[in-house]
Amino acid sequence: MKVETSLSLDSPELYLNRDLSMLAFNRRVLEMASDPDIPLLERLRFLCICTSNMDEFFEVRVAIQKQWVAVGSTHAGADGLSASEVLRRIREKVTELVSDQYQLLNDELLPALREEGISFLHRAEWNEAQQNWIRCFFNRELLPVLTPIGLDPAHPFPRLLNKILNFMVALEGKDAFGRESHYAIVQAPRSLPRMIRLPADVATSENCYVFLSAIIHAHVGELFPGMNAKFCHQFRITRNSELDVDDELVDLKQAIAGELLERRFSQAVRLEVSNKCPTELSDFLLEKFGLNDVDLYRVEGPVNPYRMALVCDQVDRPDLKFPVFEQAMPSRLQVEDRDLFKIISDGDLLLHHPYHRFSPVVELLMQAATDPHVLAIKQTLYRVVPDSPIVDALVKAARANKEVVAVIELRARFNEEDNIALADRLSAAGVQVVYGVVGYKTHCKMMLIVRREGRSLRRYVHLGTGNYHTITTRFYTDFGILSRDPDLGEDVHRIFQQLTGMGRVSKLKTMLQAPFSLHSGLLERIGLEAANAAAGGKGRIIAKMNGLEETEIIQALYRASQAGVKIDLIVRGICCLKPGIKGVSENIRVRSVLGRFLEHTRVFYFYNGGEPEVLCASADWMGRNLLRRVETCFPVRDKKLARDVLNQGLRPFLVDNTGAWNLRKDGAYYRVRSQNKPRCAQLEMMRLYGNLKA
């Protein structure tokens, strides 16, 4: 029964800001680093992930808000906040987050690591033997590649690369030419790691490290012979990393390659300096980068803790890491000399990564590459490195004179260079490479194999919620399905026709597709649940995704809640919906679940009047995904597999009480803690598949 409310569903009071919601997600990541129940090196890794997330947040989201302010835009989202107000609140949240991050690093993690024999030595702690080794290291490895730049009329302030560690050095005296310079800049070489491991003969613990920045700092005076280096302070600049590519262009690949060169020196959005950096020096840097005081962040430690993630991989301490994990093979594939075409013909095959290996997808491609009955292979590639076994299989198939088509999304953020190299390698092998549709990112994950069987042509497909990246499939959770369903095959065929050719939108048989039918299809399904509940029946929605922001979808969920539909939303990152508001969203619960694996699945369950429908998708419920990208959403038609998706991909996350946060109506998240038996969805899946080693 519908509950009356005085609030309009357009009211800004009903929406959370997406950028502030993203910062709330980073706060949750930092809380994982604070959790004493998590192994120590994994806590350090979570802290590093938080740093990386914040870098991307400034490169993209803060950069966008700054652009809105610069052009005087009055643009505001559903939350009603102006860009200037969003930036003000971001400043408040980030200042607090950065302070807490370094306090955690300095006061908890580093001391705890030292107790475990993993130490990071400050310069004041170096003994004579260590100083001698470090001096030799500096002369041998660093001095030949460092290029100090004095700032004078002949050496103007240099263009510094995005996110590169730099040092500002204050100098006294005159050089060999009689020149007098107040400042010089030294850039840390990108070819060397930021953490240097000391050899056993000088180390004071089993795993003993020094920061590269400390080595440069200690010997920076040697770069300016005869002059006095008064002080030296590290800093890092973050730049706008959004690509600005004109839709009306001749060659997309060439345009993106040009933009990548410019992105390294684009508009600055953040300056990080050490906390001891004098105000006169930070003011000088702010002026040079065209920034204001609000763009300055002082840090109590290394300006880029992310580089410490190297230690998590280098240190051989299984007791300080998550238990050893081994990916499993689906039971139907646990046979020798398996014929994947025969196995898939016997019924759809569900893959649940990372609990299942991704190798069956690669194996299917390799079999297709050498199978004389296979005529064509088509695949979308969003984030795939050029030396991937997926690419090897496509190259092999092309050289076997099969028709091979690769739809490569060049604009996959921060993977553009890899994708250009990928396109070059595939083209050289004879693969027909296309770049999708200008103006719409091709974000769908699908593969089509056309095979002659007797007098018929059969279509085999792989559809997934995640990328064809063989590395990330080891620690991203995703579902994939291998199928010979003729309806799915026909739908995938039609979508590939859209991507490679031209023509009007084709009506699909079973799948939903953005930007054409996915948005309306979701609204229709949410509306049906609302109608069933309003008529006295049962309405139920469970949906899991990475982000929820699209206003029409949120309003449809609000209306469904008002009609009595019970709604559970498992949203890892951004969520702009406010749950628990009386008369609007009191039937909606929102939670975020984090763990050792990055939750990446997009799974949607609708009760559908007693005929449950389970859908998997490449798309989150974000405006960009539903309206400005090419995305796919496919039904799990086999009832047993649909139950498996529900029981493995949704229900365990509703009862997780170890890595879960519930969202309150005020936008705050609170950690779910229970005095009862701990429930960890990811751990339950590992036990189900027998992934954990004793």
Q: Write out the catalytic residue numbers.
A: 443
Report how far residue 12's alpha carbon sits from residue 588's, in angstroms, rounded to the nearest whole number.
Answer: 18
Q: For residue 446, give the amino acid letter.
A: M
**Order of strands across the sheet that contains 207-211:** 118-120, 207-211, 195-197
Q: State CA 92 to chain mean position distance.
A: 24
User: Beta 456-464 vs 476-483: how paired, if at all?
Assistant: antiparallel
CA 85 to chain centre: 26
Radius of gyration from C-alpha coordinates of the chain: 27
Phi (first) and psi of residue 282, to 5 degrees: -65, -35
**Sign of the Cα pseudo-torsion (380, 383, 385, 388, in order):** negative
Give the Å distances, CA to CA, from 424 to 159, 387, 433: 30, 12, 9
Q: Which residues, 6 or more positions from 316, have their beta carbon under 8 angstroms from its beta carbon?
A: none
DSSP string, 150-180: E-BTTBPPP-PPTT--EEEEEEESB-TTS-B
Q: For tokens 């706060």, what's the residue?
A: 27
Cα–Cα distance between 102 and 98 in angstroms, integer? 6
Beta 441-442 vs 629-635: how paired, if at all? parallel
> How far is residue 70's CA from residue 364's CA, in Å, rounded to a whole number?
51
* Residue listed under structure tokens 């979808």: 553
89/85 Cα distance (integer angstroms): 6
The strand ranges marked E within 219-335 are 228-239, 268-274, 296-299
Look up residue 15 and give its two tokens.
């929406």
State the Cα angle at 296 between 291 and 301, rounded to 5°: 145
Rounded to the nearest 10 degrees, how much is the dihedral formed by the CA atoms of 466, 467, 468, 472? -90
Please tell me the number of Cα atoms within 13 Å of 573 on its side-chain side: 20
- CA dist., res. 16 & res. 10, Å (int): 12
Query: Which residue type is seen at 572?
Result: R
CA distances, 277 to each of 168, 298, 300, 474 (Å): 9, 8, 11, 41
Helix (H) or strand (E) holding 51: helix 40-56
CB of 351 closer than 8 Å to CB of 479: yes
* b (16+ CB within 10 A) / e for 429-460: bbbebbbbbeebbbbbbbbbbbbeeeeeebbb
How many helices (H) and strands (E) in the chain?
Answer: 21, 27
To the nearest 5 percent, what fractions of the chain are helix, strand and coil? 40, 25, 35
Structure tokens given for 128? 């004579």
- For 262, residues 6+ apart whose C-beta sits below 8 A from its C-beta are none
Both tokens assigned to 574: 């951004």
- Residue pair 406/428 in contact (Cβ under 8 Å)? The answer is no
Instruction: Locate 605 and state its tokens.
Output: 């369950």
